[in-house]
Chains A and B, each alone.
Chain A
Amino acid sequence: MNIHPCGDRALTVELGDRIDEGVNARVCKLAALISQTKLPGVQETVPTFRALLVLYDPGITSYPKLRRALTRLLAKCEHADAAGGRIFELPVLYNGPDLPDVAAHAGISESEVVARHSKPAYLIYMLGFLPGFAYLGGLDPSIVTPRLTTPRTKIPAGAVGIGGEQTGVYPLDSPGGWRLIGMTPVKPYDPGREEPILYRAGDRIRFIPVDQAVYDKIRAEVEAGTYRVRVTGGSV
């Protein structure tokens, strides 16, 4: 464990040097403990793959004081469990323009790509890049597909894609180079919602294949504000 200053209003706690579920679970546990214990002067934390950024008010606390407090909390993060997060079930219509390419690259059928993509409960290592953009771990190695050589200039919010060893959902209309394999009718980011982002680091996402009729029905419910994403687990 290493703690380093990031100027006078932030510090970073590094809990490992690799992308690993156990390391990330400790990062998320530390973030949860900081928020539960309401450490004086801490304004917010940003959990990432293997480090936690802690933003603070140096008028209230100081780097050495916070360092000591965090070292104490770290002792309680030893046995953090990566399987403890909530699981969000996102319905997906697997009709993306690049699904045939992904299937061809893997040498399997499109339905087999769908089966392999919708099997894991992907861990959300962190959110970043765009609001609500989840960095997911656990993509089946057989469907790893390189990014497009020329990125698309506009990918619609809700698009589900594969980019190298990563997979995920675009939360906003945005340019991007991932291979698009489907669409979810759910909005991971909705500025009008009380929790504008559905999930947080440490949670998991499972993609549930749906057909066009179910997609349209859910989409209508999402627009009407009546749809509830199915969430299971959540012992943390």
Chain B
Amino acid sequence: MRILNAGPLSTVQDLGRIGYQSMGFSPSGAMDERALVIGNLLVGNPRDCAAVEMTLSGMSVRFDYPAVIALTGADMNARLNGNVFPRYTAVYVNAGDALVCSTAKSGCRGYLCVAGGIDVPVVMGSRSTNLKCRLGGYEGRKLAAGDWLPYGAALKNTEGRAYHPDEVRDITELRVVLGPQDALFPKESIETLLRETYTVTPSSDRMGTRLEGPAIQAREKSDIISDGIAAGSIQIPASGMPIILTADRQTTGGYAKIATVISVDLAKLAQVRPGGRVCFTEVSVYKARHIYKAQQAEYRKLEKGIGWKYV
């Protein structure tokens, strides 16, 4: 497909580059893994195929070959040859068709999934774009007008398959497991985190979501001897303003991490745009695993063709 207009930040992403964090490589990958997986399953792909992640404003493309495509994640007001294009629906497009996405009506990140997957070269086990290292994706960079993206051969025709989009709420509830360094914070700080509402600031990006709200103070200081950072870690710098670390995070860091957003809810966080609000609820590791497994079970059902709507 030919990119006619790339939007502010469109990148090729899959489920990330696993196995290189010990060398300092961020895993990258889709910020909203659920939207990517549902989009891939809609078009009959394996879960981890590469798609295009669009941010706040979508891209416009022209298809050179017929394809089955689906748009998931943020509602980007898409039109196909001028007609309203449904979200979360597998649609057959013809050679020459133009898909135009515009500013997101709700949500923050949209995904364009194509049957067969976006076929850029695999670099270190993944097609994800790592912008900082100029690695993977399309020449290691964000997409630009004029770029041409190949896609693979469709495994099957899933035209008409549909799924209900996830709701976007005024305040996004993020479930967290406390730790790894919650012991460095007094009880009142943890209560503040779990009681108050925080606003996402415009300096948020794929590396981290920066929040503004009531400050969280560590018992003494919030610096630790640098250690590894998991996705969803909520680190507290000296300012007391939490930062939730995501796909393009540094692999190591020296700020204390009070809690970690559970993996399933990182997808919800990915759809909160600057100015949006989030709050935190504590869950146990046991409960978090249960939530994870329930989502995996749903994916397995969808893979077997159970649970789809048809249009």
Chain B associates with chain A? yes
Is B260 interfacial (CB 8 A cutoff)? Answer: yes
Q: A6-B260, A50-B227, A53-B229 are in contact. Are A196 and B22 (CB under 8 A)?
A: no
Q: For B232, list chain A residues within 8 Å (CB).
A: 7
The yes or no answer to A172 lying at the interface (CB within 8 A) is: yes
Q: Does A147 contact B (CB under 8 A)?
A: no
Question: Is the CB–CB distance between A63 and B285 below 8 Å?
Answer: yes
Q: Specify which of B19, B21, B261 lies most central, judged by the most chain A CB atoms within 10 Å of its CB.
A: B21
- Give the distance to chain B from A68, nearest Cβ to Cβ, in Å: 14
Which residues of B, 201-256, contact A by the 8 Å Cβ criterion?
Answer: 225-233, 250-253
B95 near A: Cβ within 8 Å? no
Which residue of B22, B181, B263 is within 8 Å of A47 (Cβ)?
B22
Which residue from chain B places its CB closest to the CB of A48 in the assembled complex?
A: B227
Shortest distance between the CB of A135 and any CB in chain B (Å)? 8
> For A8, what are the chain B residues with a Cβ–Cβ distance below 8 Å?
177, 262-264, 285, 288-289, 291-292
- Residues of A6-60 at the interface with B, using a CB-CB cut-off of 8 Å, are 6-12, 14, 17-19, 31, 43-53, 55, 58-59
Shortest distance from the beta carbon of A189 to any chain B beta carbon, whole Å = 8
A165, B292: Cα distance in complex, Å: 43
User: Nearest Cβ distance between residue A82 and chain B, in whole angstroms?
Assistant: 17
Instruction: State the Cβ distance, A27 to closest chain B Cβ, in Å.
Output: 10
Is A6 a contact partner of B180 (Cβ separation < 8 A)?
yes
Q: With A6-B179, A131-B25 in contact, do A53 and B228 touch (Cβ < 8 Å)?
A: yes
Q: Report the minimum CB–CB distance from B27 to chain A (whole Å).
A: 9
Contacting B at CB under 8 A, from A60-106, are 62-63
Distance of B258 from chain A, by nearest CB (Å): 11
Interface string of B266-303 (1 = CB under 8 A from A): 00000000000000000001101101110010000000
What CA separation (Å) do A48 and B227 show in the bound complex?
Answer: 5
Cβ contact within 8 Å between B263 and A7: yes
Q: Given the complex of chains A and B, what is the CA–CA distance between A196 and B263 in angstroms?
A: 28
Q: Number of residues in B with C-beta < 8 Å to the partner? A: 45
Closest A residue, CB atoms, query B178:
A5
A155 CA / B296 CA spacing, docked (Å): 45
Contacts of A17 in B (CB 8 A): 225
Give the residue name and chain of the A residue nearest to B132 (CB): A130
Tell which of A121-129, A177-185, A207-215, A222-230 binds the partner.
A121-129
Binary interface encoding of chain B residues 2-16 relative to chain A, with 1 for a CB under 8 A from any of its CBs, else 0:
000000000000000
Interface residues of B in 35-67 (CB under 8 A from A): none
Q: Does B135 contact A (CB under 8 A)?
A: yes
CB–CB B296/A59 < 8 A:
yes
Least CB distance from B248 to A in Å reads 12
Nearest B-chain residue to A59, judged by Cβ: B296
Closest to B182 in A: A4
A129 and B225 contacting across the interface, CB-CB below 8 Å? no
Contacts A48-B252, A127-B23, A129-B252 given: A10-B230 contact, CB under 8 Å? yes
Check B23 against A59 for contact (C-beta < 8 Å).
no
Q: B interface vs A, CB < 8 Å?
A: 18-25, 123-124, 132-133, 135, 176-177, 179-181, 225-233, 250-253, 257, 260-264, 285-286, 288-289, 291-293, 296
Identify 13 residue pairs between A and B in the complex whose beta-carbon atoms are under 8 Å apart, listed by A's number.
A4-B181, A5-B180, A6-B257, A7-B177, A7-B262, A46-B251, A48-B227, A53-B21, A53-B229, A55-B230, A126-B226, A126-B252, A191-B124
* Chain A interface (Cβ < 8 Å from any Cβ of B): 4-12, 14, 17-19, 31, 43-53, 55, 58-59, 62-63, 126-133, 135, 171-172, 191, 196-197, 200-201
With A5-B285, A129-B252 already in contact, 9 other A-B pairs whose C-beta atoms are closer than 8 Å: A5-B260, A8-B262, A8-B263, A18-B225, A48-B252, A58-B263, A130-B24, A133-B24, A191-B123
Q: Which 6 pairs across A and B sit closest by C-beta, in order of nearness?
A: A53-B228, A128-B252, A7-B260, A46-B228, A10-B230, A8-B288
